[in-house]
Amino acid sequence: MRWLLRSRNVPVAIQNGSHNTLDSCRSLVTSCRAVLLPRFGGPEVLEVRQNVHIPELKPKEVLVRTRAVSVNPLDTRMRSGYGRSLFEPLLPLILGRDISGEVAALGSSVRSLSVGQEVFGALHPTAVRGTYADYAILAEDELTIKPESISHAEASAIPFAALTAWRALRCTARIKQGQRLLVVGGGGAVGFSAIQLAVAVGCHVSTTCGGECISRILAAGAEQAVDYTAEDYETSINGYFDAVLDTIGVPETERIGINLLKRGGHYMTLQGEAASLADRYGLAVGLPVSTAILLKKQVQYRYSHGIEYSWNYMRADPEGLHEIRRLSDVGKLKVPVDKTFSIKEVKEAHEVKDKRLVPGKVVLEFD
């Protein structure tokens, strides 16, 4: 095997066989630039550092040369200390879940990808080495080929949000053609992804959102979009639903969402309390307490309303990622990018999200 350093510093293995291992790749890439989170706090704690060690690839892992990553609410929340019960002993962390880039090297048992391919995907919410780095490591099943029709910046905005929506709609509620879905908070990345995924299945979709998103949401195929800032959506929303995806998850939206469900319907919130309770009481107490709270609500709502209640989390899902790729490629699944920054401007990017100066997706691009 011989090695070639591509024009944009992507190490590419030129070889006779079909696979490359990091053992060989390490001769070229053993460290890289990354954004470190040495302690919890405001955007000012983020540090762009050179020569950050790249761990060895495990057999099913892939080294990706990063082109773009998006800023998710989880990134800014983790930076501020959300999940500290889990993450504090592991500092410094690298933030970032989403990625779009190029395959730089493959673990020994990766079969579905090859070096040089353009890929996109997302890490699990609890990953410690995130994607805010020139080289990121993801599992094979967290990645798929990037659609050629969209840029790296556009691709990086999609996977974490769309997989969160997919897991709720397809794995929890198992939505089917003809069913009715209510998305609470359809203007955000997860909510807008959920609308598009459900429309693609043939569902009838209603949503609540800020007024400026209404035309985009109706153009994506939703049948009703109610401006929650101007109307009482509890009375404006038409009919009852087979599933409610609540991206906001405050007591008020939970109450309304549950009251708008048919019997047998699914209420799914993205604001599960496991991490916040673990932060408050420690892992040993917080996790059992959160399980007890969840069980209590599930029993209570089954008894009072005849509905299924769940906390939903993003998980890797190769089938979901494949479908997300297919829909993105044909323009049926988009997450609009409002603003891009260079990775060197990561503090500014976090600041605009913290201060809500940019409502939509913010993407960090790598030179």
Ligand X SMILES: NC(=O)c1ccc[n+]([C@@H]2O[C@H](COP(=O)([O-])OP(=O)(O)OC[C@H]3O[C@@H](n4cnc5c(N)ncnc54)[C@H](OP(=O)(O)O)[C@@H]3O)[C@@H](O)[C@H]2O)c1
Task: Select from 116, 125, 221, 318 the one that contacts ligand X (CB under 6 A).
Answer: 125
Cα(259)–Cα(234) distance, integer angstroms: 9
Query: By CB under 6 A, is residue 294 in contact with ligand X?
Result: no
CB atoms within 10 A of CB 338: 13
In angstroms, give the least distance from the CB of 12 to ligand X. Answer: 33
Residue for token digits 């929506």?
A: 165
Query: By CB under 6 A, is residue 210 in contact with ligand X?
Result: yes
> Comparing C-alpha atoms, which of 59, 4, 52 is closest to residue 27?
4
Residues 6+ apart with CB under 8 A from 365: 67, 68, 152, 153, 340, 341, 342, 343
CB nearer to ligand X: pick between 208 and 328? 208
Stretch of 1-9, 56-64, 282-290, 306-314 contacting ligand X, by CB under 6 A: 306-314
Task: Select from 248, 287, 294, 358 the one that contacts ligand X (CB under 6 A).
Answer: 248
Query: By CB under 6 A, is residue 190 in contact with ligand X?
Result: yes
Query: By CB under 6 A, is residue 209 in contact with ligand X?
Result: yes
- The residues with which 139 forms a beta bridge, in sequence order, are 61
For residue 160 the two structure tokens come to: 């974490």
Stretch of 16-24, 32-40, 188-196, 321-329 contacting ligand X, by CB under 6 A: 188-196
Query: By CB under 6 A, is residue 28 in contact with ligand X?
Result: no
- Phi and psi torsions of 95, nearest 5°: -75, 175
Query: By CB under 6 A, is residue 218 in contact with ligand X?
Result: no
* Binding residues among 44-83 for ligand X as defined by CB under 6 A: 72-74
> b vs e for 268-296, b when ≥16 Cβ sit within 10 Å of the residue's Cβ?
bbbebbbbbbbbeeeeeebbeebeeebee
Stretch of 12-20, 116-124, 143-151, 184-192 contacting ligand X, by CB under 6 A: 184-192
CB nearer to ligand X: pick between 107 and 186? 186
* Binding residues among 224-243 for ligand X as defined by CB under 6 A: 228
For residue 316 the two structure tokens come to: 């890797």
Cα(208)–Cα(200) distance, integer angstroms: 19
Task: Select from 156, 164, 206, 224 the one that contacts ligand X (CB under 6 A).
Answer: 164
Cα(197)–Cα(135) distance, integer angstroms: 30
Cα(169)–Cα(272) distance, integer angstroms: 16
Count interface residues toward ligand X (CB under 6 A).
Answer: 25
CB nearer to ligand X: pick between 86 and 248? 248
Stretch of 46-54, 174-182, 203-211, 217-225 contacting ligand X, by CB under 6 A: 203-211
Binding positions for ligand X, rule: CB under 6 A = 72-74, 125, 161, 164, 184-185, 187-191, 208-210, 228, 247-248, 270, 272, 312-314, 359
